[in-house]
Structure 1
Amino acid sequence: MLSRRARIPGEPATKAARWTSRLGVATVAVALAALTAGCGSGGGAGSSGVPAPSSSVGTQIDGAIPADISHLPVTDQDGRQTDLAAFRGKVLMISDSMTLCQETCPLDTANLVQTAHAVDQAHEGADVEFLTITVDPERDTPAQLAAYRRQYAPTPANWEALTGTSADVAKLWKYFGVWYQKVPEGSPPAKNWRTGQPLTYDIDHADEIFFLDSRDNERFVINGAAHVAAGTRLPATMQGFLDSDGLRNLQQPQDGSWTVSDALQTLGWLLQRTIGPPSGS
């Protein structure tokens, strides 16, 4: 599908410009954090204790999510309306995804769920929420999202799959800098793994993982296809749905692919508590 390390062909220049701005904010934030630490300020991510992930893992940012983004209405897999503001007070790990992706999303979700299990086993689940937000709201209805979550059983209680109107989803992802566009479906078309109906289009998209702190500030972004390590459960239905690119991503992860350990390190930094891998991994 798409390499998250490289600029996507046809991707609007506005996304590149947005990343330039975000990197500028990150540079200032890192400098301020260093000054604050030098003055003996304690507590909070990055001040002491668990260190921030290195730049080889992702990009450190420090920016408050604006109210119009925090309060954008989204709908969960049970048909209930919510928004990002509803999770304030928790650290968030957010993945852009789609349930009918055949290349990267099933792998990202497998890592996200494995991360959630590790957080729960470390008794930190009450302080962390995992959100999978679609880039395909037309097909990712609550029923489709609910079926997707059930594939990844046992389903973490602190993992929500979210959809919304096309306009609201577009506004959300425009803010976070996630590019996506509808493209023709291949021939012969794949079939929806839930309904068996032939797909009529596909969506090219950039895949990124976003981390927000408990005060609703964006703090870290990870880019790169997921590296699903041995011991991480990928549901048989979703593995069977992978196309040739997806199987290649599974069997031969690219350099720089993100791991469960990368996510746990980032969450541990935001919580300032070390989180180990899930038992059995």
Structure 2
Amino acid sequence: MGSTGMPGSAAVSWSGDGGSAEAEMADVQRRTATGAAVAAVLALLAAGCSTAAGGSGGGSDSGSGRGDAVSAPGMDVGTRIDHALPADILHLPLTDQDGRPTSLAAFKNKVLVVSDIMTLCAETCPLDTANVVQTAQRVEADHAGSDVEFLSITIDPARDTPAQLAAYRRLYSPPPADWQTLTGSPAVVQKLWKYFGVWYQKVPQGKPPAKNWRTGQTLTYDLNHSDEIFFIDGRGHERFVIDGAGHVQPGTVLPPTVRNYLDSEGVNNLEHPDSSSWTVPEGLQTVGWLLGRPLPTGQKSS
């Protein structure tokens, strides 16, 4: 059993390993450009309207509206938007790690933190997952877990079965109750991630080929993909997007199976994160903004 990742802790450790590519890339670029333009306009409007609106406008219109107003995360963190998710996206049939049917709509009135994952990724997904789990643990420790759900949804449904996802989740022992790992049919997963603008493409497996850390089966393909974290408010509106892999807090000890599965690129990403990497305090700030009340980030105010 590892650390619970309480606010302000210096380190966290886990044990108990118990369309076409071109079209999808164009969609990513379109969404990024649109989001950046909207964010720029909103930033200008906020300068003149924040006082009259009673704060940043994040928590007050998120569906919870509790507590003090919290400043929205800056444009240096991600892209601020406000898009209502279509009904067909909200009701896409998904399956959780226990084989139970679910959907985004099943979490109505909750703040959702949605991330794309692949349990057999050796470069970036483990870092994103480490940050997602730490953020979820801190939200849970602040007694806000009933208002927030962290959903890590696969881009690799052929291999990320419920059994694989359940084993992946158990690596982060004890997994926070407000963190779920989800899959769906290939068609559902493709539709979901195409809407959100996550790009992924099947490529040949490297040589020598890696093996599934759970089954020992030799892998026959890999997936190149983008990394994003999507924040959805209680009304079902997409409100904030963070691009890039996680900047894992110094001193964090990844689960042994995950750490050993990293390839050379993954180790470099862990030890030398670039400027686009996102942090747990940034995730907590964004969640707090949508909840309408601050969450302890473990950082001193500037």
TM-score normalised by the chain length of structure 1: 0.90
Q: Does 1:261 align with 2:262?
A: no
What amino acid is aligned across from residue 163 of structure 1 in structure 2?
Answer: T
Pair 1:152-2:165 in alignment: no
The match for 2:114 among 83, 94, 102 is: 94
1:198 and 2:238 matched: no
Give the structure-2-normalised TM-score: 0.84
Residue 18 in structure 1 maps to residue 31 in structure 2:
yes
1:129 aligned onto 2:149:
yes
Question: How far apart, CA to CA, are the structure 2 residues paired with 1:33 and 1:87?
Answer: 29
Q: How many residues are treated as equivalent by the alignment?
A: 271
**Which stretch shifts more, 17-26 or 89-98?**
17-26
CA contact (8 A) 1:99 1:148 kept: yes
**Does structure 1 retain, via aligned residues, the 8 Å contact 2:39–2:75?**
no
Alpha-carbon distance change, 66 to 26 in structure 1, aligned in 2, over 3 angstroms: farther
Task: State the Cα distance separating 1:211 from its structure 2 match.
Answer: 0.3
* In the alignment, structure 1 residue 70 sits paired with structure 2 residue 90: yes
Deviations 1:25-46 (A, max 9, x none): 4445555656654544579516
Q: Can you list the C-alpha shifts for 1:1-21, whole angstroms capped at 9, x where unaligned?
A: xxxxxxxx9663232123223
Matched, 1:59 2:65: no
Q: Report the AA paired with residue 194 of structure 1.
A: R
Q: Which residue of 1 aligns with 2:4?
A: none
- For 1:45, give the aligned amino acid: G
Displacement after TM superposition at 1:161 (Å): 0.3
Q: Which moved more, 1:228-237 or 1:72-81?
A: 228-237
Structure 1's 33 and 84: CA in aligned 2 closer, same or farther, altered over 3 A?
Answer: farther
2:119 partner SS:
coil
2:265 partner SS: helix
- For the pair 1:114 / 2:134, whether they are aligned, the reply is yes
* Structure 1 unmatched runs, 5+: 1-8
Does 1:85 find its partner at 2:98?
no
**1:112-261 superposed matches below 5 A:** 112-261=132-281
Identity among equivalent positions (%) equals 61
**RMSD of aligned alpha carbons:** 2.1
Deviations 1:152-179 (A, max 9, x none): 1110111110000111100000000000
The one-letter amino acid of 1:14's match is D
Q: Measure how far apart 1:272 and its partner are.
A: 1.7
In 2 relative to 1, CA 163–246 (structure 1 residues): closer, same or farther, beyond 3 Å? same
C-alpha separation in 2, matches of 1:41 and 1:261: 23
